[in-house]
């Protein structure tokens, strides 16, 4: 298809589009209705509206579904009032309402707007919203205001404060029956502290923890790179909605018939929905699982423990799952005090009071002065001390957040005697916790109610078409296949070159003269550094935009094939964690790739420099690790083809202005066909220290060889140590060192000493666990990138224990020696090397 002439593709597209237009419109009017068997299709063909029968049912419903996934019904009009035959007609009544009629013109369902509106039109939008508009295109009614069991991106859940309308999800009864089921998913706004809650009838099943737009149940609102959640609070609205960061991403949130809230992402390759997160995520996510005045910690046995100063309520069963009662009564006036309970989802907001203007100190005094006040906190949870939230009754549904991405604390009231006997933490097992700090069992963590992980972007072709830049009188030549605009000069140029950046990609072709102009003739002071295949220069375009110019050395291994490979690959990819290719230049002997400029250079510039390492604080490192994981996941699972990078290493991770990571250097990447799982090569290319054993020794590569490199990278980032050239504690390399530390329960010693934040320790252990799993000797023991991202993002996920990793044996081991002896000659400073393996 890619090699077909543009005009042919374009005319086919027009033909196809016109056929579709003939078949389906996206709107109905008073004159044009649809009946059972006919559908509306949104303009970009994303959603379809029509009649359907779910599962084995023969009843007919009017609904909206994804065009590419017709079984995914995102909205049902007459969910509680099905039509029993195929007589349904959707039309607009004389008073401007949408009405669904069955046999004998009975109204089965209506949009029910109370005032008469002339000339309304109902249109199915590409967001999946079905809107009824007046002549001025104001929405008089919209399906997004009456959700079924699915929240689509852009759909608000919560309250319209002007009309009192509450929008919430209601589960289907069964897969065959869309009528209202037992469960609802609502946006509660009690005490101005919004919370997402799942109910069965009027009983709470699970809750997110309070959300102030910044922190959500103690965790930053948008810790992942998949989508952002937006809180809306103004005079008209108190609601929230979400939006994927990458637009082509198709995702939804569904409330299942069993009361689970699921986040799903459409996988273009498998044509299936991937489940990326569900809530409640574990038993601690079940509302009040441990009963009153106790804390649920998913990584402990037993998981329920009483808050300090409390003991089990059950005389016979000494676990605290029945809830806990005070060991000693409060002194009230006799000098009670407070113990900080940190890193928890705070107790549910039942029987609370909120004062928005009080400082934390005032809050403490206020709570102390009222004997029924059991606990308090700063209500905005950002720790700036403004706002005071006090609890009066039992404290319910507290769970431990073991990670350090965000915190939420509260102060628990205890009698003076408990203050003396207890440490400053919240539960009776905390002292023991400290002892067990290095214990990897502590790795199970809490879950962020906003989930998860997986990611992605179904990116298509880069539309970076730069036109008509002029510099020093030179045309910055652009060969723009996408727009089909070719000047005579460009045509001549194309003939002369006989090539362009790649026949199948729409990538600008720069003239050598313009590249020279942008880099001041490759001035030495513009040199950014030497890469595996040539020198990289900084350049400036006429408009002032900065670029990075990779000039392949003539004697470099990267010839036309590699260049084309890299250009075509990256041009087809679009993800925020992949460096963007802006164009290329091929003239005579010159082969040049032009990238977006990354002002913070590569990760190794920071990570392995003793003074600059300090700039990489823990949160930045976590963001970098997560970003790399997301970029790699996209390459493996979510781009239009499966790509194995084959040379993932610190120097190929570039950092943008905000220290966000982008994977670069696709010179040796390989595309896998649909069902291809691994490939074999005689030409082993990669970098010592990052190559998996099966690749280094046998030339076998797969997504799992990238996972191996990712594992090495992860361990380097958390430890600040290079994977190679590492001699410490008799360990042959970083993997051996990490393994030795892990098995002797000294995993915490892996933490880069530059990172003073000791509270990151538990998360560190989790990351080390994931890193060790990635570098397992056998590829089948390594997780996929989907699993890696899930493990990193979903802290409740239970992690398998790693076995001894590859290359971690003592120095004279067969694999290390046989590998390193081959590579020693050609490996300098972690540059990409080629080993021709005799097989
Ligand atoms: O660590 P660095 O300064 O960052 O040294 C290497 C060098 O070029 C050889 O790869 C730098 N580099 C590569 N691509 C870019 C880019 N797109 N923006 C900025 N610097 C880059 C890299």
Q: Ligand 1 atom 21: the closest Cα is on which residue?
A: 601
Q: What is the mean pLDDT of residues 319-347?
A: 84
The answer to whether 440 touches 765, Cβ cutoff 8 Å, is: yes
Q: 733 or 185: whose pLDDT is higher?
A: 185
Confidence band for 529, pLDDT divided at 50, 70 and 90: confident
pLDDT at 636 exceeding the cut of 70 = yes
Residue 606 Cα to ligand 1 midpoint, Å, equals 12
Can you give the pLDDT at residue 816? 30
531 in ligand 1 pocket by Cβ < 6 Å? Answer: yes
Handedness of CA 810, 815, 818, 821 (dihedral sign): negative
Least confident of 187-201, 272-286, 378-392: 378-392
809 in ligand 1 pocket by Cβ < 6 Å? Answer: no
Confidence band for 728, pLDDT divided at 50, 70 and 90: low
pLDDT at 648 exceeding the cut of 80 = yes
597 in ligand 1 pocket by Cβ < 6 Å? Answer: yes
Name, in order, each residue with C-beta under 8 angstroms of 60's C-beta and a sequence gap of 6 or more: 36, 51, 52, 53, 82, 83, 84, 85, 86, 88
605 in ligand 1 pocket by Cβ < 6 Å? Answer: yes
Three-state DSSP state, 596: strand
For residue 312, list its beta bridge partners: 324
Three-state DSSP state, 148: coil
Show contacts of 67-71: CB within 8 Å, 24+ apart. Answer: 67/41, 67/42, 68/266, 68/271, 69/266, 69/271, 69/273
Residue 651 Cα to ligand 1 midpoint, Å, equals 8
Q: What is the mean pLDDT of residues 213-241?
A: 74
The answer to whether 156 touches 237, Cβ cutoff 8 Å, is: yes
CA distance 651 to 831: 9
Shortest-distance atom of ligand 1 to CA 528: 8
Residue 771 Cα to ligand 1 midpoint, Å, equals 26
pLDDT at 579 exceeding the cut of 80 = yes
**Dihedral-angle region of residue 417 (phi above 0 means left; psi in -120 to 50 means alpha; beta otherwise):** alpha
pLDDT at 128 exceeding the cut of 70 = yes
Give me 594's structure tokens. 């032009």
Confidence band for 79, pLDDT divided at 50, 70 and 90: very high
Tens digit of pLDDT for each residue in 649-660? 999 999 999 999
Q: Map out the domains of the chain with their CATH numbers.
A: 25-141 (2.90.10.10), 147-281 (2.90.10), 285-424 (3.50.4.10), 476-596 (3.30.200.20), 603-836 (1.10.510.10)
The answer to whether 594 touches 548, Cβ cutoff 8 Å, is: yes
CA distance 560 to 588: 11
Shortest-distance atom of ligand 1 to CA 603: 1
Residue 531 Cα to ligand 1 midpoint, Å, equals 8
Question: How do 294-296 and 398-400 pair as beta strands?
Answer: parallel
For residue 700, list its beta bridge partners: 680
Q: What is the mean pLDDT of residues 159-180?
A: 95
Least confident of 138-147, 260-269, 380-389, 685-694: 380-389
Which residues form the catalytic set?
Answer: 647
Show contacts of 787-790: CB within 8 Å, 24+ apart. Answer: 788/629, 788/633, 788/707, 788/710, 789/453, 789/454, 789/455, 789/626, 789/629, 789/630, 789/633, 790/276, 790/452, 790/453, 790/454
pLDDT at 123 exceeding the cut of 70 = yes
601 in ligand 1 pocket by Cβ < 6 Å? Answer: yes
For residue 592, list its beta bridge partners: 551, 585
Which residue from 120, 176, 187, 174 is spatially nearest to 147, judged by alpha carbons?
187
Give me 489's structure tokens. 């000069």
Q: Ligand 1 atom 5: the closest Cα is on which residue?
A: 529
| One-character DSSP codes across 323-388 | -EEESS---GGGT-EEEEE-SEEPPPSSSEEEETT--HHHHHHHHHT-TT--EEE-TTSSSS---E
C-alpha of 388 from chain center: 33
Q: What is the mean pLDDT of residues 486-509?
A: 42
Q: What is the mean pLDDT of residues 749-762?
A: 74
The one-character DSSP state at 456 is -
Q: Ligand 1 atom 3: the closest Cα is on which residue?
A: 601
Name, in order, each residue with C-beta under 8 angstroms of 473's C-beta and a sequence gap of 6 or more: none
Confidence band for 239, pLDDT divided at 50, 70 and 90: very high
pTM, to two decimals: 0.56
Q: What is the mean pLDDT of residues 132-150?
A: 96
Q: Ligand 1 atom 13: the closest Cα is on which residue?
A: 536
CA distance 738 to 771: 9
Confidence band for 71, pLDDT divided at 50, 70 and 90: very high
The H or E element spanning position 240 is strand 237-244
Tens digit of pLDDT for each residue in 257-316? 999 999 888 887 778 888 877 888 888 999 999 999 999 988 788 889 999 999 987 765
Confidence band for 772, pLDDT divided at 50, 70 and 90: very high
Q: What is the mean pLDDT of residues 312-334?
A: 75
602 in ligand 1 pocket by Cβ < 6 Å? Answer: yes
Q: 435 or 102: whose pLDDT is higher?
A: 102
Q: What is the average pLDDT score of the chain?
A: 78
Shortest-distance atom of ligand 1 to CA 651: 1
CA distance 680 to 34: 56
Residue 112 Cα to ligand 1 midpoint, Å, equals 61
Which residue from 678, 795, 755, 673 is spatially nearest to 297, judged by alpha carbons?
795
Least confident of 69-73, 180-184, 721-725: 721-725
Least confident of 212-221, 525-534, 696-705: 212-221
Tens digit of pLDDT for each residue in 424-479? 445 544 433 433 433 333 333 433 343 433 333 333 332 333 333 333 222 222 22
Shortest-distance atom of ligand 1 to CA 596: 17
Confidence band for 215, pLDDT divided at 50, 70 and 90: low
595 in ligand 1 pocket by Cβ < 6 Å? Answer: yes
Q: What is the mean pLDDT of residues 384-410?
A: 77
Q: Ligand 1 atom 17: the closest Cα is on which residue?
A: 597
C-alpha of 92 from chain center: 41
Least confident of 157-171, 216-230, 535-549, 559-573: 216-230
Q: 712 or 480: whose pLDDT is higher?
A: 712
The answer to whether 832 touches 687, Cβ cutoff 8 Å, is: yes
Three-state DSSP state, 558: coil
Q: 735 or 320: whose pLDDT is higher?
A: 735
Can you give the pLDDT at residue 373? 94
Can you give the pLDDT at residue 470? 30
CA distance 221 to 204: 22
Confidence band for 801, pLDDT divided at 50, 70 and 90: very high
Which residue from 745, 744, 749, 773 is spatially nearest to 761, judged by alpha carbons?
749
Q: How far is CA 665 from CA 224, 400, 420, 569, 715, in A?
A: 24, 41, 59, 10, 21
CA distance 26 to 41: 5
Can you give the pLDDT at residue 221? 56
Residue 149 Cα to ligand 1 midpoint, Å, equals 48
Q: What is the mean pLDDT of residues 184-191?
A: 88
Q: Ligand 1 atom 6: the closest Cα is on which residue?
A: 529
Three-state DSSP state, 740: helix
Confidence band for 811, pLDDT divided at 50, 70 and 90: very low
CA distance 100 to 86: 12
Phi, psi of 102 (to 5 degrees): -115, -170
CA distance 657 to 628: 16
pLDDT at 729 exceeding the cut of 70 = no
Tens digit of pLDDT for each residue in 662-677? 999 887 888 876 667 7
Residue 551 Cα to ligand 1 midpoint, Å, equals 12
């Amino acid at each position: 298809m890619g090699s077909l002439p543009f005009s042919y593709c374009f005319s086919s597209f027009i033909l196809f589009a016109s056929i579709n237009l003939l078949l389906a419109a996206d709107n109905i009017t008073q004159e044009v209705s649809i009946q059972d068997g006919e559908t509306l299709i949104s303009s970009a063909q994303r959603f379809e509206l029509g009649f359907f029968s779910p599962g084995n049912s023969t009843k007919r419903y009017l609904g909206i579904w994804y065009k590419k996934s017709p079984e995914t019904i995102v909205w049902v009009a007459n969910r509680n009032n099905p039509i029993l035959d195929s007589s349904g007609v959707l039309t607009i009544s004389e008073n401007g309402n949408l009405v669904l009629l069955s046999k004998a013109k009975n109204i089965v369902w209506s949009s029910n707007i109370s005032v008469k509106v002339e000339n309304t039109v109902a249109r199915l939008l590409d967001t999946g919203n079905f809107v009824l508009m007046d002549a001025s295109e104001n929405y008089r009614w919209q399906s997004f205001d009456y959700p079924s069991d699915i929240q689509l991106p852009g759909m608000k859940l919560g309250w319209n404060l002007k009309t009192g309308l509450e929008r919430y999800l209601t589960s289907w009864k069964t897969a065959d029956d869309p009528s209202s089921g037992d469960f609802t998913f609502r946006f509660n706004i009690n005490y101005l502290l919004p919370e997402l809650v799942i109910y069965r009838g009027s009983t709470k099943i699970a809750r997110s923890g309070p959300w102030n737009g910044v922190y959500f149940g103690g965790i930053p609102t948008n810790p992942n790179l998949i989508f952002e959640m937006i809180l809306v609070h103004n005079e008209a609205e108190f609601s929230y909605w979400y939006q994927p960061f990458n637009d082509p991403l198709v995702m939804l949130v569904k409330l299942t018939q069993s009361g689970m809230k699921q986040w799903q992402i459409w996988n273009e390759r498998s044509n299936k929905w991937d489940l990326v997160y569900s809530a409640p995520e574990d038993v601690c996510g079940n509302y009040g699982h441990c009963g009153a005045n106790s804390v649920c910690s998913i990584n402990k046995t037993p998981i329920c423990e009483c808050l300090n100063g409390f003991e089990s309520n059950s005389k016979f069963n000494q676990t605290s799952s029945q809830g806990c009662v005070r060991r000693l009564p409060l002194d009230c006036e006799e000098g009670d005090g407070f113990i900080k309970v940190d890193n928890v989802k705070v107790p549910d907001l039942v029987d609370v009071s909120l004062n928005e203007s009080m400082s934390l100190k005032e809050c403490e005094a206020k709570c102390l002065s009222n004997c029924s006040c059991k606990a308090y906190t700063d209500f905005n949870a950002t720790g700036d001390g403004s706002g005071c939230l006090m609890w009066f009754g039992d404290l319910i549904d507290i769970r431990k957040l073991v990670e350090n991405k965000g915190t939420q604390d509260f102060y628990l009231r205890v009698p003076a005697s408990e203050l003396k006997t207890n440490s400053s933490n919240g539960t009776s097992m905390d002292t023991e916790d400290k002892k067990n700090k290095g214990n990897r069992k502590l790795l199970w963590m809490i879950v962020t109610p906003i989930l998860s992980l997986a990611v992605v972007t179904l990116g298509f072709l880069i539309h970076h078409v730069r036109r008509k830049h002029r510099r020093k009188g030179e045309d910055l030549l652009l060969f723009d296949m996408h727009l089909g605009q070719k000047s005579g000069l460009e045509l001549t140029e194309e003939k002369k070159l006989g090539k362009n950046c790649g026949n199948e990609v729409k990538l600008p072709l720069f003239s050598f003269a313009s590249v020279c102009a942008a880099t001041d003739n490759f001035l030495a002071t513009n040199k950014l550094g030497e890469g595996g295949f040539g020198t990289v220069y900084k350049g400036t375009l006429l408009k002032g935009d900065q670029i990075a110019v990779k000039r392949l050395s003539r004697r470099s291994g990267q010839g036309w094939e590699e260049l084309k490979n890299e250009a075509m690959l990256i041009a087809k990819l679009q993800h925020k964690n992949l460096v963007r290719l802006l164009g290329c230049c091929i003239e005579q002997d010159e082969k040049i790739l032009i990238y977006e400029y990354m002002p913070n250079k590569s990760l190794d510039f920071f990570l392995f420099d003793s003074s600059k390492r300090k700039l990489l604080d823990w949160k930045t490192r976590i963001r970098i690790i997560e970003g790399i994981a997301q970029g790699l996941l996209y390459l493996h699972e979510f781009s239009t083809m499966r790509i194995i990078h084959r040379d993932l290493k610190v120097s190929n991770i570039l950092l943008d202005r905000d220290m966000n990571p982008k994977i670069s250097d696709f010179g040796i990447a390989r595309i896998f066909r649909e069902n291809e799982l691994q490939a074999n090569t005689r030409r082993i290319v990669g970098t010592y220290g990052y190559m998996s054993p099966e690749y280094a020794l046998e030339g076998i590569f797969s997504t799992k060889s990238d996972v191996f490199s990712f594992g090495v990278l992860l361990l380097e980032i958390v430890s600040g140590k290079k994977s190679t050239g590492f001699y410490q504690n008799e360990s042959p390399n970083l993997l051996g060192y990490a393994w030795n530390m892990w098995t002797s329960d000294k995993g915490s010693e892996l933490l880069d000493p530059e990172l003073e934040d000791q509270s990151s320790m538990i998360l560190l252990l989790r990351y080390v666990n994931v890193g060790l799993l990635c570098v397992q000797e056998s590829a089948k023991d390594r997780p996929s990138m989907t699993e890696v991202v899930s493990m990193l993002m979903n802290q409740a996920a239970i992690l398998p224990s790693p076995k001894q990793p590859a290359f971690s044996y003592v120095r004279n081991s067969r694999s290390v020696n046989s590998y390193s002896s081959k590579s020693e000659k050609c490996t300098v400073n972690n540059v990409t090397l080629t080993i021709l393996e005799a097989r």
